[in-house]
Chains A and B, each alone.
Chain A
């Protein structure tokens, strides 16, 4: 809603500057987004008169003008073809900056000084295209007047962003009422609407039937004859333009003008185009068609309310008129409709037909049903005054569902309790009455009559807000609620923090990516139609392809981040993300949401065992640390395959016999496609599994051993296909409980050992909690380990 400051001032006098008004309204709940000065950039440009023109001695196309600006005479040189002695013109003296940013400076043109500029319309910012010559003003223009004032541009327009509960302020009178609450002595100056009717009676010329009172609970009409259709007066056009409405002709402009005054949409029908002199307010029939004012044919149905005559629909009630009853230059008799339509029905129609309009916007928020006729009369008055119309006596007023006065009883104690105040009944009454709520006091209750234009007020809570508003939100004291409760996080939230710390401590950077994604990622990763990852949830009304479905894995977002960084010459990067993924459920069931932890590494430089898979082992170490820290024991890595990971370098992460995650290097094809660094590896873990299996809350202190440890190294040569885990398992099993720890510290493949085999070196640590181990004990066990390894996996012991 655009509110012209000076126009608003005609309804109530207020002592505020435009900026103060903006602040006042904002603090009353009517947020002002912006204040625009229409004369922006015209400051300093004034009306001047060309008193003398002489030829320029050194240039054929230039003339020297003497221009009177009221307090001085300026010599200005111009080349404009339409320059004329005695003409009133806009003058920008030296020092003024034009709306287009050009600063006027004193110049010498071919030896003659020029001390200003005579402006054209485009230079004033009035038109877009270039003007032929300078702008010639009316003869009556007063020399010395600011051009902004002369052009009625001396107006400020406040742009209001109104929330639905301030719908009443979609009319200037509504805003005036808001201001009135703080200006007890000032009266609202309601617009004149007393016209002089002629001798005829409207009921003899037209009648109205409402077929569906539920959708139209009041319909009023006034008939104006013999109007002269022309452009409306300048002042009205300027006000409409300032409010953002394009002037059309006097009749249409009057309906718009009254709309902006009263927040009541009106419609003007060409009376002569209404067949049977009858208006019928009815539901459309199925597939009924109408061409609306915007020349679009609309197909209707029973849910849509139309205004019809005996033969056809002539308008979509409350949304847009029909072309068949439109006002044209030939129109002479106007039927003014002012009505109240059901807000929900109007909203549905406007949405269905994608036809939001100034009218539907207001009807769907509810207009003041009691003031419907007043607005119609105002339009009739203006048509009589500005279009020479003859208003027919009497009015049509069908009011099948009369307005019921709304009364609300409020409890004073509760109001005070909710606001944290100690107001007396009389104080509350005074505040509410400033807002035109009639209020009676009875014991500790107030009985409040809600004015008809306040359809936003339904409950005690609504009146509490009004009292708070009047008291001033910022005057309400500041307290803190008593609390006996202990603030805390649940186990999942705590674990999330722990995991985040472990990840960052391991050198992984946290990323946050969109959970909406492009399906192309699944194609890029060659994910098959049957794959679980394709059980995604699709958005019904996506913005675009890039945000068309919900992710089923954190991988696509993570890979995009790695790829984008790789393209920016990042050579090494480790990342992780904690976030939700979503899976489709059966029809009608809520999709599943899973919280996941994913990570990725590219360009890792550390490769202890020269495996050529540094990123894989880097992530694996981090995951192992994580399980260790969360006290999740017995996690196993099993070879698995999927479409986007390297078949020889991918592990399913298993716990208690089921898969809780995956870790692997990307397939070379995927790496190439995404411009990733070679060997980029990723993992994903189901967070719920971490939460279910962690024993982080059951930590018990283990006594530190008092007896010395014995360490033994063991180097084996085995077939290269034997997994390290298998060897470790044998060593641990045979090592008995005195083998406290075993680590692999070297891996070798090469010339020193036979082809197809590998050498692994282990460090074994033996220790007992209750005694010092004797040499023989350790030796026996160590030898048993060796013999078992020889037997079971055909291991050859090196350096033995």
Chain B
């Protein structure tokens, strides 16, 4: 066989062998067989002396090409086998991904906090600040300054828990309206979330301790339509954009005109169910234009300033939103309950 034929035979043989090799040891043997010091390529080079001098450069180039080709074949196969090995290892490492994960102990936020955080963020976005006031109030702030004189029938609307002749537990968050107007000049834009108290026996729908959120906006040229707009934004955010809202005349001593705000029932969507007592509507808050007497008593000129106020049950929002049908659940703090929020 002349050298050219040898080269061709080596190439076709090497291609076949490298292709079929299955493990690293065999591959190494192949490498030695072809590229080793005594390998087939070395053997060709050793025969170079016998080649005609004019053919030598051609044969030399071809031999080098073949050497490179075999080195390449070896490298390819080597990588291939390494990949295969990694894959096998990973295959052995397979786990049951359906086993449960490891859960770090996590604490849950009480639903009342979840709700108030949402409400706060919403109103902060509307330019409101958060105001607070004492839970032990004087007669003046809880009643008189809110246009509820001592012998007015409106006092019947709330059963009050008294501390003594002077102090009582606030029955609503409305005193914060007065405190804010006394402290600060318009423009005023606040919400005041807080705890309130009534002399109500604890049952599924009443609690002597519960929570309200008060809102107050006072400035020049604040109108009833502004009240409607603000409440609409709130209702859509809290109860969903597809809720219908209606305003209906009502009475609060500290607002005039006053309006009760109803939202189409979140369960039956207005058809009538047990939650809405068949009316299709849920009462969600009281509201109105701040009564001129209240503005005046708080030191604001009612001919210059106007404002609106609203108040709602914070527990009630949580109950409606989460479908809680018993207010006591909120205060029982059963772990199974807390872990739902």
Contact = CB atoms under 8 A, between A and B. Distances in A.
Given A417-B306, A474-B247, A485-B189, A588 B338 contact: no
B199 A541 contact: yes
A357 interface: no
Interface in B197-221: 197, 199-202, 207-209, 217, 219, 221
B209 A575 contact: no
B167 A591 contact: yes
Contact of A537 (B129, B163, B250, B292): B163
Contacts of B292: 459-461
Interface in B225-248: 225-226, 228-230, 232-233, 246-248
Contact of B127 (A28, A163, A485): A485
Nearest to B188: A485
Interface residues on A, range: 35 or more
B251 A543 contact: no
Interface stretch (A273-281, A510-518, A747-755): A510-518
Given A420-B224, A477-B225, A590-B134, A506 B247 contact: no
Contacts of B225: 419-421, 476-479
B291 A461 contact: yes
A164 interface: yes
B75 interface: no
Given A461-B256, A486-B127, A515-B209, A473 B334 contact: no
A166 interface: yes
Contacts of B199: 541, 543
B18 interface: no
B163 A591 contact: yes
A489 interface: yes
Contacts of A564: 332-334
A484 interface: yes
A508 interface: yes
A641 interface: no
Interface string A407-448: 000000010011111000000000000000000000000000
Considering residues B128, B224, B226, which has the most beta carbons from chain A within 10 angstroms of its beta carbon? Answer: B224
A321 to B, nearest CB: 23
Interface string A561-575: 100110010100111
Contacts of B130: 488-490, 493
A564 B202 CA distance: 18
B209 A516 contact: yes
A596 to B, nearest CB: 13
Nearest to B260: A31
B127 A487 contact: yes
Contact of B249 (A28, A365, A417, A503): A28
B120 A514 contact: no
B278 to A, nearest CB: 9
Contacts of B189: 481, 483, 485, 487
Contacts of B164: 540
Interface residues of B, number: 87
A465 interface: yes
B298 interface: no
A462 B256 contact: yes
Nearest to A574: B107
Interface string B115-138: 001001001111111101011101
Contacts of A347: 151, 153
A210 B152 CA distance: 25
B214 to A, nearest CB: 15
Contacts of B40: none
A473 B209 contact: no
B173 interface: no
Nearest to B199: A543
Contacts of B107: 503-510, 574, 576
B223 to A, nearest CB: 4
Contacts of A787: none
Given A31-B250, A344-B151, A509-B339, A591 B136 contact: yes
B185 interface: no
Considering residues B151, B156, B207, B221, which has the most beta carbons from chain A within 10 angstroms of its beta carbon? Answer: B151
Given A509-B108, A541-B199, A543-B201, A468 B257 contact: yes
B150 to A, nearest CB: 8
B208 A483 contact: no
Given A483-B189, A513-B333, A540 B109 contact: no
B166 A588 contact: yes
Interface string A236-247: 000000000000
Nearest to B125: A487
Given A481-B229, A483-B126, A537-B136, A500 B338 contact: no
Contact of A593 (B135, B200, B251, B339): B135
A543 B125 CA distance: 40
Interface string B186-197: 010100000101
B256 A478 contact: no
B209 A489 contact: no
Contact of A568 (B108, B201, B334): B334
Given A419-B257, A515-B195, 10 more contacts: A163-B250, A420-B226, A465-B256, A479-B228, A480-B230, A504-B107, A504-B109, A507-B105, A512-B112, A537-B136
24 contacts: A26-B248, A31-B248, A164-B153, A164-B157, A418-B223, A419-B224, A420-B225, A464-B289, A465-B249, A468-B257, A473-B246, A473-B247, A483-B189, A487-B127, A497-B117, A504-B107, A512-B112, A539-B169, A540-B161, A543-B200, A543-B201, A574-B107, A590-B138, A593-B136
Interface of B: 104-110, 112-113, 117, 120, 123-130, 132, 134-136, 138, 151-154, 156-157, 161-164, 166-167, 169, 187, 189, 195, 197, 199-202, 207-209, 217, 219, 221-226, 228-230, 232-233, 246-251, 256-260, 277, 289, 291-293, 303, 306, 330-335, 338-339
Interface of A: 26-29, 31, 34, 163-167, 343-344, 347-348, 364-365, 414, 417-421, 459-462, 464-465, 468-469, 473-474, 476-481, 483-490, 493, 497, 500, 503-516, 537-543, 547, 550, 561, 564-565, 568, 570, 573-576, 580, 582, 588, 590-591, 593
Q: Nearest 4 CB-CB pairs, A to B?
A: A420-B225, A29-B249, A163-B251, A465-B257
